């Protein structure tokens, strides 16, 4: 039985697939872990922790790091064929890993939305931003996101989700086929829900926020430039008028003589 499973997994995960996991995740880890550590180190300074934006970037780095840590298991299992089956409860391992990965993706996307809203408030309401954009309120917003996050992904922690074919890259974990209604939901609707809630809605919100920020900055810049331009032009006009008047008076005096 073990030989049969091993043969199937060897056939399912050819060398090309292993290399894709090795190269792809190696690049991801080399860029991701140092970047997140740098963010944590930078924004954890006492002077920056007073800003809501810094607290939000700390939370973002934490969730990104959690996602990368979960990717290590895929890196080892599918990239280097390290088997976790038999060494731990694989169904529980599947539930925990997929829950953390999906929840971290969702949290990271919506924390970026909160960061965008934070910047929008500072641009649109600069005199009220110190009251609205505080670290405490930023963490409350992250807490609300986490509540929605857990509620949305809680089904991955139930008995409905677990082990399918250990070691098979495309089907190591998935819905239990004893729960047909859940399996239909997972394969037909769950991916769509993920794309909408993790990608489309956050991207659309951030797009419109960025557009509004750019418009607001442009309008303020124009409003600031006009008075300066008028102030710069006014003395020149006055000088020209004074020069013209002086020349006219000189001409009249010459005529009198």
49: left (phi over 0), alpha (psi -120 to 50) or beta: alpha
pLDDT of res. 228? 60
pLDDT of res. 221? 81
Q: Per mean pLDDT, which range of 90-99, 161-170, 246-255 is the poorest?
A: 246-255
Percentage above 90 pLDDT, the chain: 60
Q: Per mean pLDDT, which range of 8-17, 67-76, 138-147 is the poorest?
A: 8-17
Confidence band for 55, pLDDT divided at 50, 70 and 90: very high
Which neighbouring-strand residues pair with 163?
173
Q: Hey, CA dihedral for 17, 19, 24, 30, is it positive or negative?
A: positive
> Pick the residue with more confidence: 38 or 246?
38
Strands (E), the chain: 161-163, 173-175
What sections of 88-200 are H helices per DSSP?
A: 90-124, 129-132, 135-153, 180-185, 191-194
How far is it, in rounded angstroms, from Cα 52 to Cα 142? 11
**Domains recognised in the chain with CATH numbers:** 2-222 (1.20.1070.10)
pLDDT higher than 80, residue 123: yes
How far is it, in rounded angstroms, from Cα 179 to Cα 162? 12
Average model confidence (pLDDT) for the chain?
Answer: 85
Which neighbouring-strand residues pair with 161?
175
Q: In the structure encoding, which two tokens stand for residue 242, read together?
A: 């004074």
Q: Which residue has the tokens 């840590």?
A: 69
pLDDT of res. 215? 92
Q: Are 68 and 75 in contact (CB under 8 A)?
A: no
pLDDT average, residue stretch 187-203: 96
């Amino acid at each position: 039985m073990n030989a049969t499973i091993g043969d199937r997994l060897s056939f399912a995960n050819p060398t090309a697939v292993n290399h894709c996991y090795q190269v792809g995740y190696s690049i991801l880890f080399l860029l991701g872990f140092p970047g997140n550590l740098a963010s944590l180190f930078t924004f954890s300074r006492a002077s920056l922790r007073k800003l809501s934006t810094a607290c939000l970037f700390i939370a973002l780095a934490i969730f990104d790091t959690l996602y990368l840590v979960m990717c290590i298991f895929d890196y080892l299992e599918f990239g280097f064929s390290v088997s976790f089956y038999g060494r731990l409860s694989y169904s529980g391992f599947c539930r925990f890993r997929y829950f953390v990965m999906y929840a971290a993706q969702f949290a990271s996307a919506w924390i970026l939305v909160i960061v965008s809203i934070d910047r929008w408030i500072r641009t649109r309401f600069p005199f009220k931003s110190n009251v609205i954009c505080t670290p405490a309120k930023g963490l409350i917003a992250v807490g609300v996101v986490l509540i929605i996050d857990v509620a949305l992904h809680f089904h991955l922690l139930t008995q409905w989700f677990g082990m399918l074919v250990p070691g098979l890259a495309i089907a190591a974990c998935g819905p239990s086929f004893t729960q047909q209604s859940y399996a239909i939901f997972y394969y037909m609707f769950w991916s769509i829900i993920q794309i909408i809630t993790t990608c489309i809605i956050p991207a659309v919100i951030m797009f419109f926020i960025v557009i509004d920020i750019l418009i607001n900055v442009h309008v303020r810049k124009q409003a600031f430039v006009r008075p300066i331009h008028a102030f710069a032009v006014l003395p020149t006009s006055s000088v020209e008028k004074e020069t013209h008047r002086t020349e006219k008076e000189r001409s009249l005096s010459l005529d009198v003589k």
